[in-house]
Amino acid sequence: MAVCAAIVGKENSPKFFCCVNPDEELNFQYKVLSSLDIIEEKLNPTNKPGTEIKELYLGMLYSLETCKIYGYVTNTKIKFIIVVDSSNLQLRDNEIRSMFSKIHSEYADMVSNPFYTPGEPITSKLFASSIKNIITGTV
Amino acid sequence: MRSSVSYILSSSTTEPNMSHPDYEQFSHDHAAILILLKHIGSQLKPKTFNKFYDRISKINEVKITDSTGQVRNITVRFVKEHPVENNDWGDFQTHRRLLGLVSLGKYDSQTELNEVCRVHESLKVKYNATLYDSRCVLFGPAKDSTSGSPTDVSSSSEDTSDPKTTVEEYTTPSNFKTRALFYEESSVCSDLENQITEFINSLFWVLESKKLERSREKLERVSLLYAPFEKKDFVGLDMESRQNKKRCTGRMTKHLGDLCLQAGLIAESLQYYTNAADILKGVNDWLWLGAAYEGLAAASALVLYPNMQRNEHFQRIGSLPEGSPKKPNPEAHQNNPTVVRKNIPNVLAPDDISKRYREAIIHYSKYQNAGIIETEASFKAARIAVEQNHALQAASFLQNVVYINLSLSEQEKIQRFETLADLYTQIGFNRKAAFCLRLAATRYVSPQNPNPNWSRCYTLMLQSLSGHKLLLDPIEMQEADQGWAVLQIQILQDLIVAAKRAGYSALATRHMTFLLQTMWPHLSPTEQKELAIQLQSLSVQCEGSPVPLVLDSGVVVPPANLTDIPLCAGFVLRDSKPHLRPKVIEKEKEDTGPFLFTPIHFGTGSLDRRKDKSNPKMDFLWVENEVCEVSLKLINPLPFELKVSNMRLLTSGVVFESVPETIVLPPDVPTSLTLSGWARESGELEIAGYSTHALGVKSNCRLKYMSNTFPFMYKIDVVPGLPVLQISTSLPQSASFSNFHDDNIVTSASVSLYHGEGAQCTVTLTNDSQIPIEMLDVTISSVLEQNLQDEIFRFDEEEVKRLLPLLPDQTATFTVSLYAAANFLAPNTATSPSLPHELNSGLFSSMSTSLPGNSLSRVNSSFRSSNSGHSSLAGGLTALFQQQPISSSAVEAQLKLRYSGGAGLESQHCRTSTVFFMVEMLPSLQVTNWDVMPAETSSQFYLVLDIINLTTQEMELEYAHAKCMLVEAQESCRVPVPVDRCPLSKLSDFYEEYNHSKTSVDVDKICSEHIAEQVNLKWLLNATDSSGLASLKGITLNSRMLDVVRMSPLQWDVKINGDAIHAQEDLSCEAGDCMELQMSIGNSLETSIKELALSVQFYQDYNNGTLNYRMDTRLAIAGTPKKILSVLEPQETASHKCNVIFFTPGLYKMDIQCYTPDGASVSTGPLINTGHVWKFTPPVSIQVK
């Protein structure tokens, strides 16, 4: 399944980062960071004036030799990013979508926690484990 | 985008390969004539060359009218370098051919000129295959002859033997077959542009002729054009086949398109390209089809976006605000292209340009050897996409570049990344651009790179910072608080390594400081420790200091301060010591009453606190040229000992001299530190923070940038210099202060005094400062009542005034007299003495001869008095001593000295020092009982005192003049003190005015004061050699006593046998003798006394308390013993005479008295009561033999 998931805040600062293989975390961080350029470009309203983006799922942002990066933006401009190994061909677009919506609902639950300050990095262990479960497909 | 059939069609890789990509290409360059502008010879400075290069390269567009009268727009591209291999691709894309050569050189001598010419010729040979024409710009030596000499006139020397050149001093060698342009380096070279335009013209005509030549060839018969690597592919193939024929035609058509485009015939070129594409598609000639598509797209772009230009490439300067990426305004070119498009057929729609490019790239990608063509095409496509404002499209083209596998030199790879970064920046993909810059940076120092360049690496790393939202200014950085912390840390660490390796140790230190300062919260404790240690080792090479660093590129690296290492947990300005605090002279109010302070804040505590924050002005003052202190509480956040040295205060406002401090902070334990300094001027001082030197980095830690919230700065007023007074006393310091806690106390003086003892305390004042003391104000304060205090503590104010001015380093003294004032009268409870009548009547007999010790036992019962407190003084003393009636007590007082001088006095400031006085009062003696007795003379009386020695030593008591007595410790004794009677003058008020409001109490008081005045009990303790004086202040007297004490209003004059009687004198006579008594009374009062009876009475005192008045058998009186005076006017004297004969011998006493009979008095003063008796005291005693 996916190898990495990230949640990026409104101001493009990372809020949560989860990697299946912790050794590659830095590597993935670079990739996710670069993909923000594309997300920003896609969200730029001047590009398509008048067309409000209804679809939260942004599709594949870009693909590299080793991985493909998918993006998803909530209405509050929280970005979810999933990195999928390029060799993983059985993962369809639909599955990515469902993965995103699962992450979104997890995120919504987490934000509802009164002890969480919106905008702060997410440190909840429970949240981390459920995201990990989602991206590894064990849910 | 890349074709999946990559590399299938390219057979060999050994073929010569265009190995030098030109990343800077634009699609517009397809239409440009390529001219090499070459710097030759070593004489010409690179700077001069660049100047001329810039000048010449401005001529990038020339309008030339062709033979048909049509105006052609010819574009030119000047390059400084052109690898000759790239010419090989000239058949494939003609714009790759180098058509012109302009070399610039300088010479000073003929040999140099020859050399320059030789180099030029060799360059011509190098590019011989494609070169159409060349020029050589030669800068000769400065001519000093005339300015009018043909310096600006180019002398064309097509032929060296041309006589024109003989004008020149130097001649080009004979084999030099180029048109040389001679200039002087410093001159304006005004016709240079014309010469270059002329040169371009000549190039155009050659090109035009070639184009015409090509177009006239029959398409069926043209030879096959090759890309360099294709040559082998076609060996042995049947060139005559229909397929190949078409291939030849297609390629030639495409070639013609290229030529037309270069010759300024866009419409024609579009036609050719379209045709070529059709033909080549049919024969599956992918490479050339791609080229045709690219040409088509390029030509279309030229039509649609004629203004697309290379933008000036300048380095971004870090301190400049980052503008949004430069995106051309899409509307700017909107109208123009649509108009043009209609005029020219075959022009592609804007969207199609990208599509065609995409196709072209896919076709190129099928050939491994066409990698560079593909790369360049990708860049060109991306640039068009940028122009079209299609960021995502541009991004996809750029993304493609990365996949192209080229065997490039490291330098070219780096260039590729730099170009990518530049283009990513243009489309606003700052993160991607930063990523590419980082890749480029790492390439500079990769192990594959034969000559690593850390300096370049560092520069690129620095440029990549902004893409990661890293600002160089730590303050802005912390305020922004955004970005990808994990990556930022990584990037900063890389940057530090690069800076270190590049030898920029100052920058390495700076960046490490920045990293610690800004990323501290994101670092794990181990990282914090490691980085701190790294910083320490970095700073060994170059100490960090809070100054901006300016790089060669103009980038300014702002200072980074370690404001939180050590962490400041407290910053408090210290008031000076209480006695040194300056105070405003007028405003000083010591006692402001009890209700000005309330600890109740009515819930406004938080508001108050906020108010304090907003107003950091201190409510106390500092003094010029005196030590001012700020106390800090520092916490070392690192797990090892941190040495912070050179800590100083950062101030603004008045001049401040700070003392550097050094401290070693143990980990995690708050440590207090005091920073001190001197304000060298008066005025407002602002304290903004402190500077530190920790981990080898000098930091200016300003309060406003600290993580703990402090006010932005503290303000404090510095007053002009004030003198400092050093005060000492001659008395020993007291062990402790009890009652008063005045902060100003500088010294103390304590003394033990027996009641009644006096002492002198010399207060020594030394002016320690350099300012003369011009004002000195001494006061004493205590809880005692004012008059009591004045009695105990006394100093001469005049003496103090005489001390002024006290010059610097001068010493002066004044004396404070201390006196252990006390009530020496025992506080007995008996309120009113009630003397038995017998004593009253028989007093004289018992006291007749020897007063002391004679009849004490009898008197004791009634010998009492009280000091129930008539006078306020006595009352105060009683109040003071009643708690500890016998034991010692202590009196505390403060001697306050307010002083000022110099400029401080002018600004109405002073200082207050206090000397604490503690007087321990030990009881010396006490009068337990007292009584009065008439003395032998009428002018005096005896005050009989029971005195107890309360000390533990033998006391010598001098109770009257020359009358001494020794009293053992704790023993008591009775002493008679002869006292002058209270004169009438003191009491006259009471006789004059018949005012009943004045009670006998007042009389009592006057008499009491009289006694106190008269009686001084001098005591001396032999063991300690201390002496004192006990006073009887507050002694109370009852009415009987008063009679004795005060002077009689009647003036007695008694004579016996004509001789006046002297006190204590024993008269003697024989029995049977007649004694003549002559007495007269005078009224000393101002009023007349009425109804006065004068009587003479004799009696015998048996000295056992019995007085025998029955003298009928023992004596006889001739004349009346009693005389009634109706009135005695003031100053009038009444006299009476009688004679007496004693019958038997013995001791007789004569009592002469005067009284007003009962009911006789009508209106007299309070003193002249009815029944009042005045006696002549003492009674006259007569010894009859």
Quote the ipTM score: 0.85
Q: How confident is the model at residue B1105 (pLDDT cuts 50, 70, 90)?
A: confident
**pLDDT score recorded for residue B851:** 35
Give the span between the Cα atoms of B959 and B965, in whole angstroms.
8
Q: Identify whether the C-beta of residue B251 lies closer than 8 Å to the C-beta of residue B288.
A: yes
How close is the nearest chain B Cα to the Cα of A134, in Å? 24
| CA B860, chain centre distance (Å) | 79
Chain B residues closer than 8 Å to A26 by CB:
486-487, 490
**Cα distance from N-terminal residue to C-terminal residue, chain B:** 168
Q: How many CB atoms lie within 10 A of CB B70?
A: 10
Q: Is the peptide bond before B566 cis (omega within 30 degrees of 0)?
A: yes
Nearest chain A residue to B395 by CA: give it.
A38
Tally of helices (H runs) and strands (E runs) in chain A: 3, 5
Q: What region does B898 belong to: left with phi over 0, alpha with psi -120 to 50, or beta?
A: beta
Beta strands in B66-108 (DSSP E): 71-79, 98-106
DSSP string, B150-167: TTSS----SSTT-GGGGG
Q: Identify whether the C-beta of residue B900 lies closer than 8 Å to the C-beta of residue B722.
A: yes
Chain A residues closer than 8 Å to B396 by CB:
62
Please name each of the domains of chain B with its CATH number.
Answer: 1-21+237-311+339-403 (1.25.40.10), 27-216 (3.40.50), 567-588+609-719 (2.60.40.10), 725-825+887-920 (2.60.40.10), 837-864+924-1042 (no CATH), 1049-1184 (2.60.40.10)
Give the span between the Cα atoms of B555 and B814, in whole angstroms.
71
Residue B9 has pLDDT above 50, yes or no: no
B784 token code pair:
């005692």
Q: Please name which of B304, B328, B326, B97 lies closest in space to residue B207, comparing C-alpha atoms.
A: B97
Contact B392 A41 (CB under 8 A): yes
Q: How confident is the model at residue B134 (pLDDT cuts 50, 70, 90)?
A: confident
Contact A62 B395 (CB under 8 A): yes
Mean pLDDT of B3-17: 43
Q: What angle do CA B190, B193, B194 make, to 5 degrees?
A: 95
Average pLDDT, chain B: 75
Whether chain A has a CB inside 8 Å of the CB on B469: the answer is yes
Q: Is residue A81 within a helix (H) or strand (E), and if so which, with residue range?
A: strand A79-85
**pLDDT score recorded for residue B595:** 61
Q: Please name which of B607, B1027, B1071, B586 lies closest in space to residue B819, comparing C-alpha atoms.
A: B1027
Contacts of B388 (CB under 8 A, 6+ apart): B305, B330, B350, B353, B354
Reported as a single tens digit per residue, the pLDDT across B217-245 is 776 677 777 777 777 777 666 667 788 88
Nearest chain B residue to A13 by CA: give it.
B483
Contacts of A19 (CB under 8 A, 6+ apart): A3, A4, A25, A28
Q: How confident is the model at residue B995 (pLDDT cuts 50, 70, 90)?
A: very low
**pLDDT score recorded for residue B163:** 37
For B28-37, B180-189, B777-786, B804-813, which range has the lowest pLDDT when averaged over its residues?
B180-189
Residue B137 has pLDDT above 60, yes or no: yes
Buried b (16+ CB within 10 A) or exposed e, B25-38: bbbbbbbbbbbbbb
C-alpha torsion sign, points B217, B220, B221, B223: positive
Give the span between the Cα atoms of B1134 and B1080, in whole angstroms.
5
Whether chain A has a CB inside 8 Å of the CB on B327: the answer is no
Q: How confident is the model at residue B840 (pLDDT cuts 50, 70, 90)?
A: very low
Q: Please name which of B921, B659, B652 lies closest in space to residue B784, comparing C-alpha atoms.
A: B921
How close is the nearest chain B Cα to the Cα of A121, in Å? 11
DSSP string, B705-759: GSSS---S-EEEEEEPP---EEEEESSPPPS---S---TTEEEEEEEEEETTBEE
Of all residues in chain A, what percent carry a pLDDT higher than 90?
4
Give the span between the Cα atoms of B573 and B292, in whole angstroms.
80
Residue B853 has pLDDT above 50, yes or no: no
State the Rg of chain A over Cα.
14
Q: Please name which of B482, B456, B487 lies closest in space to residue B469, comparing C-alpha atoms.
A: B482
Report which DSSP code applies to B939. Answer: T
Give the span between the Cα atoms of B1087 and B736, in whole angstroms.
62
* CATH number of the A2-136 domain: 3.30.450.70
Count Cα neighbours of B452 within 13 Å in the Cβ-side half-sphere: 13
Q: Residue B565 carries which side chain, given as an amino acid letter?
A: I
Q: What angle do CA B1080, B1082, B1084 make, to 5 degrees?
A: 160
Interface A:B, Cβ pairs < 8 A: 54
Mean pLDDT of B77-101: 83
Contact B482 A26 (CB under 8 A): no
C-alpha torsion sign, points A32, A36, A37, A38: positive
Mean pLDDT of A95-110: 90
Average pLDDT, chain A: 83
Contacts of B694 (CB under 8 A, 6+ apart): B562, B565, B566, B642, B643, B644, B645
Q: Give SS3 for B571.
A: strand
How close is the nearest chain A Cα to the Cα of B376, in Å? 21
For B126-130, B873-877, B930-934, which range has the lowest pLDDT when averaged over its residues?
B873-877
Give the span between the Cα atoms of B834 and B931, in whole angstroms.
12
Q: What region does B482 belong to: left with phi over 0, alpha with psi -120 to 50, or beta?
A: beta
Kindly report the length of chain B. 1185
Reported as a single tens digit per residue, the pLDDT across A34-73 is 888 888 888 876 655 555 556 788 888 888 778 888 999 8
B511: exposed, middle or buried (Cβ count in 10 Å: 0-12, 13-18, 19+): buried
- The dihedrals phi and psi of A8, each to the nearest 5 degrees, come to -120, 135
Chain B residues closer than 8 Å to A38 by CB:
392, 395, 429
Residue B846 has pLDDT above 60, yes or no: no
C-alpha torsion sign, points B597, B601, B602, B604: positive
Interface of B with A in 373-402 (CB under 8 A): 391-392, 395-396, 399
Reported as a single tens digit per residue, the pLDDT across B711-767 is 888 888 888 888 888 888 888 877 666 555 666 777 888 888 888 888 888 888 888
CA–CA distances in Å: residue B1161 to residues B1003, B1123, B1164, B1166: 21, 16, 7, 11
Chain A residues closer than 8 Å to B486 by CB:
14, 17, 25-26, 29
Q: Is the peptide bond before B805 cis (omega within 30 degrees of 0)?
A: yes
Q: Give SS3 for B32.
A: strand
**pLDDT score recorded for residue B601:** 55
Chain B residues closer than 8 Å to A30 by CB:
435, 487
Contact B486 A33 (CB under 8 A): no
Q: Please name which of B134, B105, B101 lies closest in space to residue B34, comparing C-alpha atoms.
A: B101
Reported as a single tens digit per residue, the pLDDT across A9-18 is 888 888 888 8
Of all residues in chain B, what percent carry a pLDDT higher than 90?
0
B629 token code pair:
């202190």
B560 token code pair:
């980074």
**pLDDT score recorded for residue B815:** 86
Residue B540 has pLDDT above 80, yes or no: yes
Give the span between the Cα atoms of B412 and A47, in whole angstroms.
34
Chain B residues closer than 8 Å to A42 by CB:
392
Q: Identify whether the C-beta of residue B78 lies closer than 8 Å to the C-beta of residue B135.
A: no
Nearest chain B residue to A37 by CA: give it.
B429
Residue B955 has pLDDT above 70, yes or no: yes
Give the span between the Cα atoms of B967 and B1017, in whole angstroms.
13
Contact B391 A41 (CB under 8 A): yes
Alpha helix ranges (H) inside A3-136: 25-43, 93-111, 125-136
B705-712: long-range pairs with CB below 8 Å, 24+: B705/B475, B705/B478, B705/B561, B705/B563, B706/B563, B706/B564, B706/B568, B707/B563, B707/B564, B707/B567, B708/B567, B708/B568, B708/B569, B709/B613, B710/B568, B710/B571, B711/B613, B711/B614, B711/B616, B712/B616, B712/B688
**Of residues B431, B483, B486, nearest to A34 (C-beta):** B431
Chain A residues closer than 8 Å to B428 by CB:
37, 40-41
How close is the nearest chain B Cα to the Cα of A11, in Å? 7
Contact B428 A42 (CB under 8 A): no
Contact A38 B429 (CB under 8 A): yes
Alpha helix ranges (H) inside B371-409: 371-388, 391-403
**pLDDT score recorded for residue B403:** 79
